[in-house]
Structure 1
Amino acid sequence: MAIMSFQKPSAEFLSRFLNGQKELEFTYPEFGATAGELPQGYLVDRTRIELGNGLTVFEKAKQALEQWEQFQLGWVETWPREVPIQTGEEVAIMAKSFGCWWLNSCRIVYCIDDQDAITKFGFAYGTLPGHLECGEERFLIEWNRQTDIVAYEILAFSKPGHLLTRLGYPFARRNQKRFARESAARLQHVASSTKSSRVEFKNEKAD
């Protein structure tokens, strides 16, 4: 069941909410699929932006992901902020829309920390019961040591997970695209002082 409140949920309420999610299963069977072949029957979104160049930019972006900065957008927040990037950890996600706060929860499915020619850091999380969407989202920082370019990428597959989302799907899609666009801008702001780059946003039906 989706949780909606006219007031921002308190820390006490959020703590009880997350405790109730620990024994619940993912709302989709293909958990971990953002690491390989994407499943059929979902809408796939890819967003990618260059953050800058070099190790310093990569380390700043990595620290930003560790602190969930990509969600600190004013109308979207995570709780608690100190959730470690570890497989199995749950996080509450609050989004404000139509004057109400909508509360969802996700669990980290897997983490990425590769030190190869393309150095990578990131993680993917999947939706838990009550989430307005159903699916998985991956947040990834890449540093190509040959080109020295640091990039941030969001890869997600999703479909409506609640009656409200199905009824208002065009609005839900606008919010998904808005989040991807603003999340990319947030990471660039935190990681680099360079001018904004064009954000690449793609979506397709995986069926």
Structure 2
Amino acid sequence: MKLTDLAGKSLTYTEVGATAGALPAGYHHVSKSAVIGRGRERFERAGNDGTRWGMLRGAGLRVEATTAVAEVGAEVLVHLGPVVAPCRVVYVVDEQDRRGFAYGTLPGHAEAGEELFLVRYDPATDLVHAEVRAFSRHATWWSRLGAPLTSAIQRAVTDRYLRAL
């Protein structure tokens, strides 16, 4: 699969943007965060790295994307060993104290759903948080068959995302 194969493909779920609010029923939900430092400078650095696919790359995944910085419509191939996960950025967060993006799954992904990668600064405590929110369900026969393994891999990769920045 190549990046050029993704153009024009539809997302594999209907609840586009739902990681920004209440996660939809009928999916497995993930909502994890970790403190990754202190101060505005740390937030700026982590936010900058995060929007350049930093949580993914820092977790040991190989990323091919149509843009160097996450932007709505950017297409992404995430490689975890032999598994390739095609996605498209569905929204970007660029606020004073929050930065990140969410992408949704495209045909060929083992799961159907959306994942948000966010860095948040809390001025009251001076703490910087990395956050991951997602909803997904199995989209292929092999991910359903290997559900215990694919779920364990998903949990491990999520933890690595939080340590990546």
What's the offset of the Cα at 1:61?
0.5
Q: Which residue of 2 aligns with 1:142?
A: 120
Q: Deviations over 1:77-102 (max 9, x none)?
A: 11149532110110111011xxxx11
Please say if residues 137 and 157 of structure 1, whose CA atoms lie closer than 8 Å, have aligned partners that are also in contact. yes
The 2-side partners of 1:176 and 1:74 are apart by 12
Change (3 A) 1:121 1:31: same
1:169 aligns with 2:147: yes
Aligned amino acid, residue 37 of structure 1: A
- 1:70 counterpart SS class: helix
Change (3 A) 1:144 1:73: closer
Please say if residues 3 and 65 of structure 2, whose CA atoms lie closer than 8 Å, have aligned partners that are also in contact. no
- The sequence identity of aligned pairs, in percent, is 35
Moved more, 42-51 or 65-74: 65-74
Q: Which residue of 1 aligns with 2:18?
A: 33
**Gapped runs of 5+ residues in structure 2?**
none
Change (3 A) 1:182 1:168: same
Please say if residues 3 and 66 of structure 2, whose CA atoms lie closer than 8 Å, have aligned partners that are also in contact. no
The 2-side partners of 1:53 and 1:142 are apart by 11
Q: Which residue of 2 aligns with 1:204?
A: none
Q: Which residue of 2 aligns with 1:122?
A: 100
The 1-side partners of 2:112 and 2:160 are apart by 21
Please say if residues 54 and 148 of structure 1, whose CA atoms lie closer than 8 Å, have aligned partners that are also in contact. yes
Taking the TM superposition and a 5 Å limit, the aligned residue runs for 1:49-128 are 49-73=34-58, 75-80=60-65, 83-96=68-81, 101-115=82-96, 119-128=97-106
What's the offset of the Cα at 1:104?
1.6
The 2-side partners of 1:181 and 1:142 are apart by 17
The 1-side partners of 2:5 and 2:65 are apart by 15
Moved more, 40-49 or 78-87: 78-87
The 2-side partners of 1:105 and 1:159 are apart by 15
- What is the TM-score when the length of structure 2 is the normalising length? 0.94
Please say if residues 65 and 75 of structure 2, whose CA atoms lie closer than 8 Å, have aligned partners that are also in contact. no
Aligned amino acid, residue 130 of structure 1: G
- 1:72 counterpart SS class: helix
Aligned amino acid, residue 129 of structure 1: P
- 2:150 counterpart SS class: helix
The 2-side partners of 1:130 and 1:140 are apart by 25
